[in-house]
Amino acid sequence: MEHVLKGYVDGWSDPSAFAMRYRIGHSSGTTEARFAGTGEYRLSSTMTAGHRPLVFTGRVAVRDVRELALTALRAGLWRAGGDTTPGGVDAEALIQVTAGPETFTVTVWTGDAALVRPFDAVQQRILRLVHRLTAGAVLEVGK
């Protein structure tokens, strides 16, 4: 994953082949976001007022996607998964990085998402962007 993130951030990989995906689900609802390296995005969530499902699509500045990738690179996201413990009916949270045929996924239990620092650093950057793009309509906080 590190080489894929570095390739995108440094500009030597094809931005149209790069994407970051985030998904978190729990008893209150589910939020999913996908940001392409060229700026296109798709967000969906039931973590909204009244749990009404909402979908948002559009385009962000490429620098926003680069900031997500840079945050993942600096945080060492690839070191975040695999050492969390499920609690009760806990669901999974994931961040996925794709570049062409390569896909890397980091998965943690939702209850641990805010406690696993590399994961949470990226998650919080993604959620700030989600909140901005949805004008606060998505209420997800990543826990």
The tens digit of pLDDT for each residue in 84-126 reads: 555 545 688 999 999 999 999 999 988 888 889 999 999 999 9
pLDDT tens-place string over residues 46-56: 999 999 999 99
The pTM of the whole model exceeds 0.75: yes
The confidence band for 80, taking pLDDT boundaries of 50, 70 and 90, is confident
Q: CA distances (Å), 96 to each of 49, 53, 67, 88, 125, in order?
A: 27, 22, 15, 24, 14
Contact predicate 28/92, CB 8 Å: no
Rounded to the nearest angstrom, the gap between the alpha carbon of residue 75 and the centroid of all alpha carbons in its chain is 13
Q: What are phi and psi of 135, to 5 degrees?
A: 50, 40
pLDDT of residue 91: 83
